[in-house]
């Protein structure tokens, strides 16, 4: 009886163990199934954001600015379109036609790149983007490498794959581009090309079950929200992400960033915090990065930072306000213009000048006590429309601080052309004399190593004089031209000699009116002066060539050689008879003359009849 009872207990124990094991196993299986289902329904750890045709809804498509905007908005891969110009440059363009995207007409493939560079590729979208230029594929590759984004290539011009491949290899970007999946040329020339073989692109309304099946087949799943009527469908984007897709392709990256869980606003908030405090270098970097975002109203932040006591932070904010699109209301500068901080006033003045604000906004600063504020104000006024009283500018032209005098000359030239040339000429001569005093003292001492304080004085004169030469260049009257000639052909070798280099350049388009000063300088004993004159006459164009030919027979040997070189480099055919005559009478320069005649002959146009127009019969008279 005891044995039976014991056996009964043992059997019951075994049954309990068996049932418990089954229950435990079932529980484990159920949990695994639930976890697997949960994994299939949940999104990957990071959902990629693909951008169609750069950030085309925020910044003009296929421009570098639009590619940069896509990167800023968090895109991992950006599609762009490639075409080849008539002369073989790879550029970004979708349509092929110029009518929609530029201020021109025609076709990209039938237009030279130099022609396309002259076209405006931004104003078609909005005046705020006026001035954008066509982007080359080479530049796009470099920007993508810098921004760490992948490029998806849509090659529009047939037969272009070899050239595109060469460019990609040259920029070491093979690992960062995706090639067109339907291109036989790509498959033939680049067998291992990344064409997205492991991806499956699906509709916007993809379900979790569909995603799970594709994942089971080893595919990455990309949901498209481009050109299907759901471009702005944020709920559908979020639904696709919840369904477990690996990426979404969008025309509106700002919405896409929200859907994949990386809102742009979070990045902006992070940059704003960085700009508010910390080392100046980090703050300015954050401000200048914020300035690149398009379509976000950040003006109040920039306006606040403009008044910051750190000059670098304030200047970065000024740059941000100047480059903001659309341009800010001028009222945002009011606080900075009256700030006790000189850097804020100076940077606000600079910004208003860049924005071409009315001069009335800066007239009060002409009486500022800070030299830097005065200098930036004067420079800004030289760019601004409106009236500026003459007397304050004349007073500032002789200001005690040398950093003020140069900008004052520019403002005077811009607003009072009638009196500017003579006033600037007198002051420039004074600056040159003062600089020469320092040079002569230094030379008399045997030209020792200069102390930093002495260098600062010399550099101050140099910077001042550069602005005065630029101011004279703004004026086209005879007094200004005479002053430029005096600087260009001045024989003195001192701390002001760079004036001559810049002034001589400015004479290129003036000397034809009266070439006698330049021709006289050509005979200078100072080689620097003669060199300035020679190069000026060479760049003056055909209008000066008759005077040069006239001067040639009676010139001194040294001057004659310079004249011959000018005629040769100008490819002047009218000089050939004179040169042939001189070849017989001037044995010393015979080789030079032969070289000149050969150069002239080389560049003479060869008239070849046009095969089409040659077949067109001329008009015939009726009998």
HSE (side-chain half, CA atoms, 13 Å) at 164: 28
Is residue 352 within 8 Å of residue 384, measured between CB atoms?
Answer: yes
Rounded mean pLDDT for each run of 10 residues along the chain, 623 residues in total: 45 47 44 40 79 98 98 98 98 97 97 98 97 98 98 96 97 97 93 94 97 98 96 98 98 98 98 98 98 96 97 98 94 97 98 98 98 98 98 98 98 97 98 93 94 95 97 97 96 88 97 96 96 97 97 95 97 96 92 96 80 60 40
**Assigned token pair, 203:** 């509709």
CA distance 395 to 556: 47
CA distance 452 to 435: 16
Burial of 55 (0-12, 13-18, 19+ CB in 10 A): buried
* Residues in Cβ contact with 50 at an 8 Å cutoff, skipping those fewer than 6 apart: 75, 76, 77, 78, 79, 152, 222, 247, 248, 249, 250
HSE (side-chain half, CA atoms, 13 Å) at 229: 2
In 3D space, the residue among 462, 507, 509 whose CA is nearest the CA of residue 486 turns out to be 507
Q: Helix, strand, or coil here: 93?
A: coil
CA distance 421 to 409: 9
Largest CA distance in the chain: 151
224: left (phi over 0), alpha (psi -120 to 50) or beta: beta
148: left (phi over 0), alpha (psi -120 to 50) or beta: left
**Assigned token pair, 213:** 């099946």
In 3D space, the residue among 392, 407, 532, 540 whose CA is nearest the CA of residue 474 turns out to be 407
Please name the residue ranges forming H helices in 416-477. 417-444, 452-473
**Which whole-number Å values give the CA distances from 183 to 168, 240, 255, 346, in the listed order?**
17, 29, 31, 57
Predicted local confidence at residue 43, as pLDDT: 54
Q: Helix, strand, or coil here: 81?
A: strand
CA distance 106 to 275: 46
pLDDT in tens, 369-398: 999 999 999 999 999 999 999 999 999 999
How many residues make up the chain in this entry? 623
Quote helix, strand, coil % in the chain, to nearest 5: 60, 5, 35
CA distance 22 to 346: 82
Domain ranges of the chain: 40-261, 263-358, 389-506, 512-602
**Assigned token pair, 566:** 């000018």
User: What crossing angle do the helices spanning 390-397 and 417-444 adopt, rounded to 10°?
Assistant: 10
- Other CB atoms within a 10 A radius of the CB of residue 241 amount to 22
CA distance 362 to 293: 29
- Taking the mean position of all CA atoms in its chain, how far away is CA 147? 16
Is residue 76 within 8 Å of residue 49, measured between CB atoms?
Answer: yes
In 3D space, the residue among 349, 402, 351, 358 whose CA is nearest the CA of residue 378 turns out to be 349
HSE (side-chain half, CA atoms, 13 Å) at 329: 6
Predicted local confidence at residue 14, as pLDDT: 52
Pick the CATH number of 40-261 from 1.10.10.10, 3.60.110.10, 3.20.20.190, 3.40.190.10: 3.20.20.190
* Residues in Cβ contact with 532 at an 8 Å cutoff, skipping those fewer than 6 apart: 488, 489, 500, 501, 504, 521
Hunting for tokens 């969008």 — which residue is that? 250
Hunting for tokens 């960062």 — which residue is that? 176
Is residue 290 within 8 Å of residue 275, measured between CB atoms?
Answer: yes
Radius of gyration of the chain (CA): 36
Q: Helix, strand, or coil here: 98?
A: coil
Is residue 178 within 8 Å of residue 198, measured between CB atoms?
Answer: no
In 3D space, the residue among 456, 444, 523 whose CA is nearest the CA of residue 491 turns out to be 523
In 3D space, the residue among 411, 388, 401 whose CA is nearest the CA of residue 471 turns out to be 411
CA distance 155 to 424: 57
Burial of 570 (0-12, 13-18, 19+ CB in 10 A): buried
**Which whole-number Å values give the CA distances from 264 to 226, 230, 255, 260, 293, in the listed order?**
20, 20, 9, 11, 10
Predicted local confidence at residue 492, as pLDDT: 81
């Amino acid at each position: 009886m005891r044995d039976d009872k014991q056996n009964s207990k043992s059997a019951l124990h075994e049954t309990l163990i068996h049932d418990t094991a089954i229950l435990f196993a079932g529980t484990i299986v159920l949990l695994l199934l639930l976890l697997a289902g949960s994994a299939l329904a949940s999104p990957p750890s990071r959902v990629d954001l693909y951008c169609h045709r750069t950030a085309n809804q925020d910044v003009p498509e296929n421009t570098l600015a639009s590619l940069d905007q896509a990167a800023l908005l968090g895109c991992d891969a950006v599609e762009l379109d490639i075409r080849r110009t008539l002369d073989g440059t790879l550029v970004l363009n979708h349509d092929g036609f110029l009518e929609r995207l530029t201020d021109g007409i025609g076709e990209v493939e039938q237009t030279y790149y130099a022609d396309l560079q002259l076209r405006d590729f931004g104003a078609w979208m909005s005046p705020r983007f006026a001035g954008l230029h066509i982007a080359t594929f080479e530049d796009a590759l470099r920007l993508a490498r810098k921004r760490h984004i992948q490029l998806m290539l849509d090659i529009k011009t047939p037969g272009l794959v070899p050239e595109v491949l060469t460019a990609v290899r040259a920029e070491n970007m093979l690992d960062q581009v995706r090639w067109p999946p339907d291109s036989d040329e790509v498959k033939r020339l680049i067998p291992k090309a990344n064409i997205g073989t492991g991806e499956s692109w699906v509709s916007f309304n993809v379900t979790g079950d569909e995603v799970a099946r594709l994942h089971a087949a080893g595919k990455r799943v990309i949901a498209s929200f481009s050109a299907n009527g759901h471009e702005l469908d944020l709920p559908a984007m979020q639904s696709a992400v919840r369904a477990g897709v690996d990426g979404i392709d969008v025309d509106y990256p700002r919405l896409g960033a929200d859907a994949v869980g990386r809102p742009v606003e979070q990045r902006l908030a992070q940059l704003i915090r960085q700009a508010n405090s910390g080392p100046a270098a980090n703050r300015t970097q954050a401000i200048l990065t914020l300035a690149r975002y398009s379509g976000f109203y950040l003006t109040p932040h920039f306006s606040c930072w403009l008044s910051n006591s750190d000059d670098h932070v304030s200047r970065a904010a000024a740059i941000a306000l100047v480059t903001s699109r659309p341009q800010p209301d001028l009222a945002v500068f009011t606080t900075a213009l009256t700030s006790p901080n000189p850097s804020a006033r100076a940077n606000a003045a600079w910004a208003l000048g860049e924005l071409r604000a009315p001069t009335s906004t800066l007239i009060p600063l002409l009486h500022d006590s800070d030299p830097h504020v005065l200098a930036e104000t004067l420079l800004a006024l030289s760019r601004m429309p409106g009236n500026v009283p003459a007397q304050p500018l004349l007073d500032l032209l002789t200001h005690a601080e040398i950093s003020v005098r140069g900008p004052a000359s520019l403002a005077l030239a811009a607003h009072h052309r009638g009196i500017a040339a003579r006033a600037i000429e007198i002051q420039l001569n004074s600056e040159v004399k003062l600089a020469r005093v320092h040079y002569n003292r230094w030379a008399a001492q045997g030209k020792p190593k200069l102390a930093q304080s002495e260098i600062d004085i010399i550099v101050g004169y140099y910077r001042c004089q550069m602005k005065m030469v630029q101011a004279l260049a703004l004026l086209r009257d005879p007094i200004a031209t005479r002053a430029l000639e005096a600087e260009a052909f001045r024989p003195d070798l001192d701390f002001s000699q760079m004036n001559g280099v810049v002034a001589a350049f400015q004479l290129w388009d003036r000397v034809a009116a009266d070439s006698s000063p330049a021709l006289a300088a050509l005979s200078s004993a100072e080689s620097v002066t003669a060199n300035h004159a020679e190069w000026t006459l060479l760049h003056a164009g055909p209008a000066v060539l008759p005077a040069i030919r006239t001067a040639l027979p009676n010139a001194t040997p040294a001057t004659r050689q310079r004249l011959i070189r000018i005629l040769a480099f100008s490819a002047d055919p009218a000089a050939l008879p004179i040169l042939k005559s001189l070849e017989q009478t001037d044995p010393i320069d015979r080789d030079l003359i032969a070289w000149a005649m050969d150069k002239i002959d080389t560049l003479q146009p060869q008239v070849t009849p046009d095969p089409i127009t040659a077949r067109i019969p001329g008009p015939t008279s009726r009998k």
